[in-house]
Amino acid sequence: MSTAIAFARRCAAQAALLLCLVLPATLPATGAAAGAPDASSGRSPDATSSGRSPDATSSGRSPDATSSGRSPDATSSGRQILVMLRIPPDHHRPGASYGGDYGNEITIAQRRRLAQNIAQHYGLGFVGDGWQMPLLGLDCYVMQVGPDETVSSAMKRIAADPDILWSEPMQVYEAKAAPPAADNDPLFAVQPAAVSWSLAALHRVATGRGVVVAVVDSRVEQDHPDLAGQFAASQDFVDGRPGSAETHGTGVAGVIAAKSGNGLGISGVAPGARLMALRACWQTKPNAANAATLCDSLSLAKALHYAIEHDALVINLSLSGPPDRLLAQLIGIALGRGITVVAAYDPALPQGGFPASAPNVIRVATQSLPAAPAGVYLAPGEDVPTTQPGGKWGLVDGSSYAAAHVSGLVALVREHNDHPPDPLLAATWPAGGDIDACATMLRAAKPCDCICPNPAKSAMATQ
């Protein structure tokens, strides 16, 4: 029996008055994965209805077992998995309009019931309401693994289910900032980039005007006097963790696009850029400036999806962690659409950690890194003054802020060039090493009246 008929039977059982005519969906090329189970093979015609009763979700579970409504924290996320379900293509979904309305409430509710049914069938907890990701042609659901089973064994058990594209552990990522020094002077006025990058000269050529930079990070203080008015969008993808502005996101945003010429604090590398403040991370101790900043793979995926759909030109990811298939596919889509992705490089992790290890991502470390591997760019990342919560300024360190410098520089380049050169950055080596910001601008926006610190390199950049 075809997959379409099997799916129709399941839909009919869930909504007797709803006609289901569904064809197998095809993922975008970036979403196809070797080894993913094929929906048309290896399953008996009655497996869906007999193996998982459509009524099982509502008949055998307590109401609060369905959804906690809370984003997983760093502890519980170690026992959670992300389960990806294929969505039917446009015009073959029940109730779909010919305008391609992915968000139809009836079809979303149907897919959620299917996911709840899957969770109960395999003895997994169902967390939250799921997240629709039309860019990848899938829905993503969080499921909790029981205490008597490992995450890997749970993933193996559900791998053969034809309704599941794939599953993966809920990963945890950490922002790459060093603890701040004690008694920082909040009005310290010396910015490393002002000297090494000739920042004032660069701003005579470009300020990043009109370029949208997505800051995927912790909560940014948007009314900070050096940041107010710099934002194109703001979204919070971390459920269940309300609170005030957070240190890391506010600092990264300031390095990229703090206002210039206002007589306050600092000047961002790209003060004319527009920021998307996309909260996907949280500060583990809200009132401690040196507390770790963590993110999980689902909150990051939501933020990336938003940035891509809302036309960011640059995405800053000042964080690092383990490889992740869902995030890798979203980054691939972003790059395919001409979005520049910048990530912090962590020398303590294999290949510098993910997402820095993803192909074609610009990976950035601090200039103090003793020996940068090929392909790693070096930018200012020590004793960097930047914006901090409470309308303050302070000194920060770490590859997070080096990456933020590069995102700002990319915004300067992209103000003048919708199709920037490859490689985009001029540096010590063809792809990596100390960045020559002025030579980068010379190559991207000729002519340039800035004075470059290395005339020979800059001349090479214009050839």
Lowest mean pLDDT among 15-19, 176-180, 236-240: 15-19
Banded pLDDT at 18 (limits 50, 70, 90)? very low
Cβ atoms of 400 and 247 closer than 8 Å: no
* Distance of alpha carbon 265 from alpha carbon 300, whole angstroms: 30
Q: Say which of 139, 163, 217, 397 is annotated catalytic.
A: 217
Burial 195-227 (b: 16+ CB within 10 A, else e): ebbbbebbbebbbbeebbbbbbbbbbbbebbbb
pLDDT at 295: 96
Two structure tokens written together for 191: 């910015």
* Distance of alpha carbon 32 from alpha carbon 14, whole angstroms: 29
pLDDT at 461: 39
Burial of 357 (0-12, 13-18, 19+ CB in 10 A): buried
- Asked whether the predicted pLDDT for residue 223 surpasses 60, the reply is yes
- The string of pLDDT tens digits covering residues 108-118 is 888 899 999 99
* Distance of alpha carbon 31 from alpha carbon 113, whole angstroms: 24
Tell me the average pLDDT across 194-208: 88
Cβ atoms of 331 and 304 closer than 8 Å: yes
Q: Comparing 66 with 192, which gets the higher pLDDT? A: 192
pLDDT at 90: 55
pLDDT at 195: 81
Instruction: Verify whether residue 73 is a known catalytic residue.
Output: no
- Asked whether the predicted pLDDT for residue 376 surpasses 90, the reply is yes
* Distance of alpha carbon 223 from alpha carbon 349, whole angstroms: 35
Q: Say which of 400, 405, 407, 458 is annotated catalytic.
A: 400
pLDDT at 181: 47
pLDDT at 422: 82
* Distance of alpha carbon 52 from alpha carbon 186, whole angstroms: 60
Tell me the average pLDDT across 374-393: 94
Helix H or strand E encompassing 161 = none
Instruction: Verify whether residue 148 is a known catalytic residue.
Output: no
Two structure tokens written together for 356: 């820095």
pLDDT at 17: 23
Q: How far is CA 100 from the centre of its chain?
A: 25
Q: Comparing 98 with 194, which gets the higher pLDDT? A: 194
pLDDT at 106: 80
pLDDT at 316: 98
Instruction: Verify whether residue 400 is a known catalytic residue.
Output: yes
Tell me the average pLDDT across 156-185: 80
Homologous superfamily (CATH) of 174-462 is Peptidase S8/S53 domain (3.40.50.200)
Domain range summary for the chain, segments of one domain joined by +: 3-170, 174-462
Tell me the average pLDDT across 361-375: 92
Positive/negative CA dihedral, 346, 349, 355, 358: positive
β-bridge mates for residue 377, sequence order: 364, 433
pLDDT at 417: 83
- Please count the other Cβ atoms lying within 10 Å of the Cβ belonging to residue 262: 13
Residue by residue, DSSP assigns 404-452 as HHHHHHHHHHHHH-SS--SS-S-EEETTEEEE-HHHHHHHHSSS-----
In angstroms, the Cα distances linking 91 to 20, 24, 26 are 11, 12, 13
Banded pLDDT at 447 (limits 50, 70, 90)? low
N-terminal to C-terminal alpha carbon distance within the chain = 63
Tell me the average pLDDT across 393-403: 95
Q: Which residue has the tokens 């949280």?
A: 282
pLDDT at 179: 60
Banded pLDDT at 105 (limits 50, 70, 90)? confident
* Distance of alpha carbon 85 from alpha carbon 166, whole angstroms: 8
Q: Comparing 196 with 404, which gets the higher pLDDT? A: 404
Q: Say which of 161, 198, 226, 248 is annotated catalytic.
A: 248
Banded pLDDT at 444 (limits 50, 70, 90)? confident
* Distance of alpha carbon 82 from alpha carbon 140, whole angstroms: 6
Average per-residue pLDDT in the chain? 79
β-bridge mates for residue 168, sequence order: 82
pLDDT at 370: 85
Most confident of 45-54, 265-274, 411-420: 265-274
- The string of pLDDT tens digits covering residues 303-331 is 999 999 999 999 999 999 999 999 999 99
| pTM for this entry | 0.76
Tell me the average pLDDT across 445-453: 54
Share of the chain above pLDDT 90, in %: 55
Cβ atoms of 110 and 95 closer than 8 Å: no
